Structure 1
């Protein structure tokens, strides 16, 4: 049975950083599903009003850097819960060794679980209806997901099943770049994560079919594809050719445990060293 979550750390890449989900309260910062989940936990039976939260995720990170840089920090903080969602950027690379990725991921999970930390995992998106260039990674993501389910079951981890969350594939759930989620998409994943933590079961999902999409004229499709390739795909390819990542010069947006809600009147002043906003 899941113990009360008093502290939570998110590790990973742009998915957990919350890219494309702008924080209305702070310029140049994002508020993604992990941030939303942290706030939800302050009002959930699975969490606590005193919950403290850190987000170490950085956009563009490959799995090896997440394991080398973020996992040790999470182990040092030793929160009650770590969400560990990573490997998507690796799967985009044609030469990725999916079995080796799974081995790296599992070794990190073992370290977290041996420290007594609950682990919340997330499988990869289904790219069936993505642009052809992104759709090509579907077989690799499918194999990686099979590994992740095995790892989760083997080590008693919680799993957010975004592959099977069919409502997540409606147009309004995705940002203009078609790779990252919109605010609505991040909110849906956060609610799915909370349901998984509270009850051990995901939100009800029916069937395998993707949401219906409106028919568009060929001219409109070609225009949209050209604009997408120019605005999003070409810059991504340019960074790959230069050996750069979108997050190379960035640090974690919330590197230390931070209490989300201010203490109520009469609460003890000593909070064990947890930072406050």
Structure 2
């Protein structure tokens, strides 16, 4: 019997595809501190709680992956697992690169969605984040917006669900982001998992799940400058260096959960 609240989840096999956001970078699993958790793991837990039977779950996402790599490497492996729900979230790393073509990315994404939908499985897509408040990533905002428009169109054409990350008000707060200002914090991943439930038509567990946080007191300009310099030295510099060398933090990594496993419920 389902132990969750809200409508029951109909899916029995969920496979998550993507990059660092879906791998869960910066959100550590309390039960396994050396393994990232993230919104997709949290979503799988919520789905399992809302099912009468077991939920099997695999997560093939790897940090740093481009959309083309997700489609050519992860998607075939996912389809071999016979899922009835696939979350396909990618393109963010592509859009960070100068000269990225959101139209070409969207065409590749749509072909992948058609392939999954052809098996009868449902698809969960996601929009890119609105980087309006980021002094560094803000330059990508126009092409992310174009890509997002494609995501909504692809979903309409093929009956996919959309996790509207761009529209989440809570993510406009830096407390929802990790120290590197690129990846979500634990609380950010929790909010996105709630958004995924809404996107799948299951409703959020927590009323006001996307309400903005109470504002913090203003930070002195000198302190803000020190924080920015520390961030640039610790995170931005190494990130740019890897891009110039065409390297990724995930080059040698394998998926954390490559095979379907039954999601264990608390106390189960």
The question of a shared fold, defined as TM-score above 0.5 by the shorter chain, is answered with yes
Residue 84 in 1 paired to residue 88 in 2? yes
**How many Å separate the matches in 1 of 2:23 and 2:81?**
18
**How many Å separate the matches in 1 of 2:209 and 2:251?**
40
Gaps of at least 5 residues in structure 2 are 1-7
Corresponding residue to 2:223 among 220, 225, 230: 220
1:138 match: 141
**4+ residue runs of structure 1 moved beyond 6 angstroms?**
200-207
Deviation per CA, 1:149-208, whole angstroms, max 9, x where unpaired?
10011110011111111012222211111111111110111111112223489998899x
1:6 match: 12
Call closer, same or farther: CA 1:213–1:100 in 2, change over 3 Å. Answer: farther
Call closer, same or farther: CA 1:69–1:176 in 2, change over 3 Å. Answer: same
Corresponding residue to 1:193 among 185, 196, 203: 196
Aligned 1:111-126 pairs, distance under 5 A: 111-126=115-130
Deviation per CA, 1:26-81, whole angstroms, max 9, x where unpaired?
1321110000000011112xx45400100000000001100100011111112110
**Secondary structure of 1:29's partner?**
strand
Deviation at 1:23? 1.1
Residue 172 in 1 paired to residue 178 in 2? no
Call closer, same or farther: CA 1:201–1:190 in 2, change over 3 Å. Answer: closer
Deviation at 1:218? 1.7
Residue 109 in 1 paired to residue 113 in 2? yes
Aligned 1:12-161 pairs, distance under 5 A: 12-44=18-50, 47-130=51-134, 132-161=135-164
**How many Å separate the matches in 2 of 1:237 and 1:172?**
24
**Secondary structure of 2:36's partner?**
coil
**How many Å separate the matches in 1 of 2:214 and 2:101?**
32
Please give the root-mean-square deviation of Cα atoms over the aligned residues, in Å: 2.6
Gaps of at least 5 residues in structure 1 are 266-277
Call closer, same or farther: CA 1:124–1:147 in 2, change over 3 Å. Answer: same
Q: Is the 8 A contact 1:165 1:205 kept in 2?
A: no
Q: Is the 8 A contact 1:129 1:135 kept in 2?
A: yes
**Secondary structure of 1:121's partner?**
strand
